[in-house]
Structure 1
Amino acid sequence: MKKLITTLQNIWKIKELRNRILFTLGMLFVFRFGSYIVLPGVIPEVLDNATQNNNSPNDLLGLINVFTGGAFNNAAIFALGIMPYITASIIIQLLGFAVPYFQRLQQKEGESGRKKLNQITRLLTVAITLVQGGGYLTYINSLGAVDPTIPLSIFWISNIIILSTGTVFSMWLGERITDRGIGNGISLLITIGIIATLPQALVFEFQSQLENNGLIIFVLEMAALFGIVMATVLIVQGVRRIPIQFAKRMVGRGSNQMPAQGARDYIPLKVNASGVMPIIFAQALMFLPATVAQFFAGEGSDLATSPVLRALNDFTSAPYNIIYFILVVLFTYVYTALLVNPQQYAEYLKRQNAFIPGIKPGKPTADFIDAVTTRITLPGSIFLGIISILPAFAAGFGVNIAFAMFFGGTSLLILVAVVLDTLQQIESHLLMRRYDGLVKSGKIQGRSRMQGIGANM
């Protein structure tokens, strides 16, 4: 505890770090405040009654509501939050793998290419927001939560402008946090939305266990959650270091020439290079059966009452979790193959006059890196698959659904990754001013300083 208090005092002593943290907290407060300002023309009481049991954290609308910190169900001006920007970023990233123009912007045109991509992403965000905003307002109208005294056309036009402005403003807040605050602004906005639902879910779980004389069970649940978080940290931070060596070269002139010792370094290949993307893609596919069931439900079709569809719409069922696990593993391999380019590593080593000891330059080096990547992706993909289905196991053991979602899945991975990145930036400020870091010894592995040629590629 004394170490923690000393660290907090050191953080407060650094004026720049203190101002950045306060600025970040202020921007996050503005974002959360906007999550409670209801769109004009919406009747909050009717909306609350309609959405109370209309979606759960397992379906698409419930997931969006979790990421927006409840703003989606509140019909707030930030109802769409930063999600259209995330969607646009994913689209641009995928285009970078397939379209030569975007590949050139990402890899060869440096800072000017990144600025051009950011501009395209912003424009695509506005377009996506207009489409999603129209669908969201139609959804609100279908719930009967629109004031009947307001013409529908005026409600639709005015609020779609407000929703678009809210998303653009959220994007601006994220960029300001990145520039003048601490941590990645966009990621922090998503994280604060996820964390916003945690206290209520935790209190509800505690009260539920207390009423059933299950205080020991609640303690065991917290211990299990702590263990899962620690395991997630290990996988997120885990890297496989491939040692490399730079060729010896002559230093000096004339009779003073002498061979310089070959410098050693390594290529850090992450065990989980794909991050949270495989879970997002797999979850999107798992939403399709529910969408089909809802589409046919109003027509009295047998398809809507099919046992298969009912099982695929129940995230605690065995078929759902088996298919979900397999999809996560497959998408992990696919996304890792898109992100990690062994040929690019081999070319970079050749240009830098470096080599992997015992491996010939060129194609043998690319094949070796590809083989290592494939081997380390297996445990990473299995772990992601297990993380994705852990909420179902937690719910099966009696944990309420809202709290069970924090035992794994997208929410847990995002929380861990963002917290680690933010702590790394705080530790960097402390170490630059010769203060102790956030941990007692060492640094936050894989975060505190970019080592290896992976940082240069």
Structure 2
Amino acid sequence: MIRILSGALTVPEIRKKLGITLLLLALYRIGAQIPVPGVSEAGVQALQENSAFQGGALQLLNVFSGGALSQIAIFALGIMPFITASIVLQLLQVVVPALEKLKQEGEIGQQRITQYTRYLTVGLAAGQSVGYVFLFRSFEGSAGTPLIEDFNAAKVVMIVVSLTAGAMIVMWLGELITQRGIGNGMSLMIFASIISGLPNGISAWWNSGDPVFKVLMPFIALAVIAAVVFVQEGQRRIPIQYAKRVIGRRMSGGGQTYLPLKVNMANVIPVIFAASILSIPPTIAQFITKDPSNGVQEFLAPGGWTYIAAESVFIILFTYFYTAVTFNPVEQADNLKKYGGFIPGVRPGRPTAEFLDRVLARLTFPGALYLAAVAALPAILFNQTTQGFAFGGTSMLIVVGVALDTVKQIEAQLMMRNYEGFLK
């Protein structure tokens, strides 16, 4: 594999794309260390020691931002507002006829949807910025030091504008990575944010006083990585036969291919949904009671059995829901019928749609259980994840999934240039 990697680096185009990707990711990490103007340094330091960022409700978002949220950096919101806006627009395409029509218009329609996504991202980022300003200010009582000195409307506007502008810059960097680099920019940014917390996680594991945790953690991590790779690559290949057609004086078609249905079609979206929803009640309770150790926080504390059970249920429900939204059996059946394709032994049209729906339902169930198990396994075994590498199962799921997708894109670039790929 080292020989193949060195061969890939000798290709000028791939080397250029890799350089652009690494440069933009470095800029993203630099922005995650630049503090927002108007925020007290002592207040930020006290905020980082707050229990809300030590296994609390905000820990997931802090991990996804690479610790920028606890530092109240310019890129504190990270890429999450854009991801949320993208998911919302994707769901609205199913229920809003105008958006569904735009989706069917091809590239032009997709550009319009992307523009709407950007507008929604601005609104979500501004709303989250306002909420975070007042939420963090509510922690001042327990921290004992003011986070925003001389608190007034002008400073609130300045902080909100800075955070919103930072989210827009992050969105722009992500789109640049997708267009000119290698891999999906949004996924790679979350990947970089999680990886940035890996040294602290390894240090906490090495210095752990629990010998059982210290011995078993590497084996558990390897087992989870192997399970993620195995299931992420698993798919059901449905054979597709195309009928021969006579066009003019020539006969075309008649080929055979397959329709790949992945075991986990929803990827990590259900896990992010579940964790985000479960973080809302404790966050609201903190904002209202101004007490980081309120009853809701303790009831839904990450690592607790109540949280694990609720997260597993939400992950299973969201997996079915998101899979149903992203894969339409009726549309697939109509496309096959339009181009003269059929599944051997299944009649075209409605029977094909029912067959695909039945197969998808059977595949989704083990995929949903797999997501729930990977997200809950570290918490069940240790009742807590390593400090600085919170939501261990979710983090490893995202890291391994993004790494696999990026390797596949590099492999595709190599195959276009007649090089041997990474994956056999």
- Per the normalisation by structure 1, the TM-score is 0.84
Contact 1:47 1:145 (8 Å CA) reproduced: no
2:74 to 73, 77, 86: 77
2: distance between equivalents of 1:80 and 1:310?
A: 22
SS in 2 for 1:245: strand
1: distance between equivalents of 2:136 and 2:365?
A: 43
Contact 2:43 2:148 (8 Å CA) reproduced: no
Q: Which residue of 2 aligns with 1:453?
A: none
Q: Which residue of 2 aligns with 1:231?
A: 227
User: Are residues 191 and 350 of structure 1, via their aligned partners in 2, closer, same or farther at CA, if it must alter by over 3 Å?
Assistant: same
Aligned AA for 2:315? V
2:126 to 127, 130, 155: 130
> Can you list the C-alpha shifts for 1:296-317, whole angstroms capped at 9, x where unaligned?
7569xxxx64xxx576313333
Aligned AA for 1:73? S
Q: Bigger CA drift: 326-335 or 77-86?
A: 326-335
User: Are residues 40 and 399 of structure 1, via their aligned partners in 2, closer, same or farther at CA, if it must alter by over 3 Å?
Assistant: closer
How many residues are aligned here?
417
Contact 1:246 1:353 (8 Å CA) reproduced: yes
Contact 1:105 1:113 (8 Å CA) reproduced: yes
Contact 1:174 1:189 (8 Å CA) reproduced: yes
User: Are residues 219 and 432 of structure 1, via their aligned partners in 2, closer, same or farther at CA, if it must alter by over 3 Å?
Assistant: farther
Q: Which residue of 2 aligns with 1:114?
A: 110
User: Are residues 373 and 58 of structure 1, via their aligned partners in 2, closer, same or farther at CA, if it must alter by over 3 Å?
Assistant: farther
Q: Which runs of 5+ in 2 are unaligned?
A: none
CA RMSD after TM alignment: 2.4
> Can you list the C-alpha shifts for 1:11-64, whole angstroms capped at 9, x where unaligned?
221111111111111111111111111112211222212331331465432111
Q: CA deviation at 1:413?
A: 2.5
Q: Which residue of 1 aligns with 2:386?
A: 400
Q: Which residue of 1 aligns with 2:320?
A: 333
2: distance between equivalents of 1:161 and 1:294?
A: 24
User: Are residues 14 and 57 of structure 1, via their aligned partners in 2, closer, same or farther at CA, if it must alter by over 3 Å?
Assistant: farther
Contact 1:289 1:312 (8 Å CA) reproduced: no
Q: Which residue of 1 aligns with 2:275?
A: 283
> Can you list the C-alpha shifts for 1:106-136, whole angstroms capped at 9, x where unaligned?
2x11001110011111111111111111122
2: distance between equivalents of 1:437 and 1:219?
A: 36
Q: Does 1:173 align with 2:173?
A: yes
Q: Which residue of 2 aligns with 1:316?
A: 303
2: distance between equivalents of 1:224 and 1:23?
A: 35
Contact 1:55 1:62 (8 Å CA) reproduced: yes
Contact 2:337 2:348 (8 Å CA) reproduced: yes
Contact 1:245 1:357 (8 Å CA) reproduced: yes
User: Are residues 205 and 354 of structure 1, via their aligned partners in 2, closer, same or farther at CA, if it must alter by over 3 Å?
Assistant: same
Aligned AA for 1:323? A
2: distance between equivalents of 1:219 and 1:24?
A: 36
Q: CA deviation at 1:249?
A: 3.5
Q: CA deviation at 1:168?
A: 1.0
SS in 2 for 1:55: helix
SS in 2 for 1:376: helix
Q: Which residue of 1 aligns with 2:16?
A: 19
1:272 to 257, 261, 264: 264
1: distance between equivalents of 2:164 and 2:297?
A: 35
Q: How does 1:437-452 map to 2 (within 5 A)?
A: 437-439=421-423, 442=424
Q: Which residue of 2 aligns with 1:204?
A: 204
Q: Which residue of 1 aligns with 2:40?
A: 43
Q: CA deviation at 1:277?
A: 2.1
Q: Does 1:434 align with 2:418?
A: yes
Aligned AA for 1:269? L
SS in 2 for 1:115: helix
Q: CA deviation at 1:350?
A: 0.8
Contact 1:239 1:268 (8 Å CA) reproduced: yes
1:387 to 374, 378, 389: 374
- Per the normalisation by structure 2, the TM-score is 0.91
Q: Bigger CA drift: 8-17 or 313-322?
A: 313-322
> Can you list the C-alpha shifts for 1:141-188, whole angstroms capped at 9, x where unaligned?
33354453x462231222222212111111111111111111111111
Q: Which residue of 1 aligns with 2:407?
A: 423
Aligned AA for 1:199? P
Q: Which residue of 2 aligns with 1:63?
A: 60
Contact 1:84 1:125 (8 Å CA) reproduced: yes
Q: Which residue of 2 aligns with 1:139?
A: 135
2: distance between equivalents of 1:224 and 1:357?
A: 43
Q: CA deviation at 1:399?
A: 5.3
1: distance between equivalents of 2:404 and 2:375?
A: 20
Q: CA deviation at 1:85?
A: 1.1
Larger radius of gyration: 1
Q: CA deviation at 1:191?
A: 1.2
Contact 1:44 1:145 (8 Å CA) reproduced: no
Which structure has more RCO (C-alpha within 8 Å, separation ≥ 6)? 2
Contact 1:130 1:160 (8 Å CA) reproduced: yes
Contact 2:57 2:282 (8 Å CA) reproduced: no
Q: Which runs of 5+ in 1 are unaligned?
A: 443-457
Q: How does 1:93-108 map to 2 (within 5 A)?
A: 93-106=90-103, 108=104
Q: CA deviation at 1:294?
A: 3.8
2:238 to 238, 242, 247: 242
Contact 2:243 2:254 (8 Å CA) reproduced: yes
2: distance between equivalents of 1:199 and 1:33?
A: 17
Contact 1:394 1:404 (8 Å CA) reproduced: no
User: Are residues 160 and 324 of structure 1, via their aligned partners in 2, closer, same or farther at CA, if it must alter by over 3 Å?
Assistant: closer
> Can you list the C-alpha shifts for 1:172-230, whole angstroms capped at 9, x where unaligned?
11111111111111111111111111111111211225xx6x3x853532122111111
SS in 2 for 1:437: coil
2: distance between equivalents of 1:206 and 1:42?
A: 34
Q: Which residue of 2 aligns with 1:162?
A: 162
